[in-house]
Amino acid sequence: MNPVRFDPQGPFMRDPIPPHQMRDRLTRIQDVFVQCHLGVPRIEPDQWSLTIDGMVERPRTLRFDDLMRYPKTELSTVHQCCGSPLAPLEPKRRICNIRWSGVRLVEVLADCRPGASAQYIWSCGADFGEFSGVVVDPYMKDLPIARVADDVLIAYEMNGSALLAEHGFPVRLVVPGFYGTNSVKWLTRMTLAERRAQGAFTTRWYNDPVLDDSGVETGETTPVWSIAPESLIVSPMPHETIELSTEREIWGWAWADGGVRSVHARAGDDATWRPAELEPPHGREWQRFSIRWTPRQHGAVVLASRAESFSGEIQPLSGRRNAIHEVAVNVV
Ligand SMILES: Nc1nc2c(c(=O)[nH]1)N[C@H]1C(S)=C(S)[C@@H](COP(=O)(O)O)O[C@H]1N2
Ligand SMILES: [Mo]
């Protein structure tokens, strides 16, 4: 195996654009956040390969050309970072909506004949190094094999162009509906197994405390997989001046693994939540919501939106990564 060249080495990230700039349904590549825990490996496609092993009858190593023999599939999905693994409950709104192209993992796997008792796929990137004082070699995540048939992709394009190095060139995993951390970049190995992977990013980090109905921790944890319901306000923007007694649209995006059923919005802390208009889900893309509002009082007003998923989960007011987004405006 060739030594991996990193540029840069060590954690590398790019912040997303702020919510009021997220006006496009499809996020432009230069506006997509970047999250690399260990650095950016620089990989030539002719030196790249993907090995599929573990609980399969036919382990295989595919070169880039082998991958390209599978039918090209395209899909659009939200792509969201769940936030720092060191501060997992802090809302970060690292979110975008992307068109991916690649091949369906289920088809590639079928040619390896997975064993009936395989439950998880461990996916490894070409990157390794140290994160928060812990040696990680390689970056490894896992996902339930039951999820694969749905729409999991081995992707090589974002919005119709080859992946950039920082987004996983030449090939990355895309797990639509799961937080971005699960979409392993610079994908080099997939191992089928009966149990969860035992790396730092699947044990020490990226496991959330499970809460009971009254919000108290039960002592159990759950992997950071499915994206919880969330919404953000694109317009108005923070500190915008709004005219009194004039009707105005509040609009934004809402998303959740499995889709958002309803969005409510409110103007002012003690105002009631009013139902917004909401686009039906289209695959796992974000959904536009909007609501009309006529301010009746001068002064500062805090606008907020709250999404509910089809499974009945509602965005919390605070304390979780998907807590409601608030925008303060000024009515004159
Ligand atoms: N190999 C590898 N894959 C990775 C990461 C990483 O550090 N190494 N970061 C993950 C995290 S935390 C996120 S949020 C997404 C970010 O993808 P992007 O940088 O293309 O937006 O990639 C995921 N895949
Ligand atoms: Mo992330």
Domain segments of the chain: what residues?
Answer: 5-223, 230-331
**22 token code pair:** 């997220």
pLDDT at 145 over 70: yes
Pick from 181, 186, 202, 205 the residue to mutate for probing ligand 1's pocket: most ligand atoms within 8 Å of its CB. Answer: 181
Angle at 65 between CA 61 and CA 71, to 5 degrees: 100
96 lines ligand 1 (CB under 6 A): no
**Model-level pTM greater than 0.85?**
yes
The Cα 199–Cα 273 span in angstroms is 43
- Per-residue model confidence as pLDDT tens digits over 97-143: 999 999 999 999 999 999 999 999 999 999 999 999 999 999 999 99
* Residue 206 vs residues 89, 97, 129, 191: alpha-carbon distances, Å: 11, 22, 18, 20
Average pLDDT in the chain: 96
pLDDT at 184 over 60: yes
138 lines ligand 1 (CB under 6 A): no
Q: Tell me: cis bond preceding 170? Omega within 30 of 0 counts.
A: yes
The Cα 204–Cα 227 span in angstroms is 20
Whole-angstrom distance between the N-terminal and C-terminal Cα of the chain? 65
The Cα 175–Cα 189 span in angstroms is 16
- For ligand 1, atom 12, the nearest C-alpha belongs to 181
Evaluate whether 124 touches 138 at the Cβ level (below 8 Å).
Answer: yes
* Residue 110 vs residues 64, 155, 185, 262: alpha-carbon distances, Å: 18, 17, 22, 37
- Per-residue model confidence as pLDDT tens digits over 237-275: 999 999 999 999 999 999 999 999 999 999 997 789 999
DSSP 31: G
5-223: what CATH class?
alpha beta
What is the 112 CA–ligand 1 centroid distance (Å)? 26
What is the 184 CA–ligand 1 centroid distance (Å)? 6
Q: Which atom of ligand 1 approaches the CA of 94 most closely?
A: 14
- Looking at all shown ligands, the one closest to residue 180's CA atom is 1
Q: How confident is the model at residue 2 (pLDDT cuts 50, 70, 90)?
A: low
- For ligand 1, atom 23, the nearest C-alpha belongs to 181
Calculate mean pLDDT across residues 52-58.
Answer: 98
Same fold, 5-223 and 230-331: no
Calculate mean pLDDT across residues 183-190.
Answer: 98
230-331 has which fold? Answer: Immunoglobulin-like (2.60.40)
Phi, psi of 108 (to 5 degrees): -65, -40
What is the 185 CA–ligand 2 centroid distance (Å)? 11
* Residue 313 vs residues 65, 196, 310: alpha-carbon distances, Å: 43, 26, 7
Calculate mean pLDDT across residues 201-209.
Answer: 95
Contact residues for 69 (Cβ-Cβ < 8 A; gap 6+):
none
**Residue 141's closest CA among 90, 203, 84, 96?**
203
- Beta strand 49-54 with 187-193 is parallel
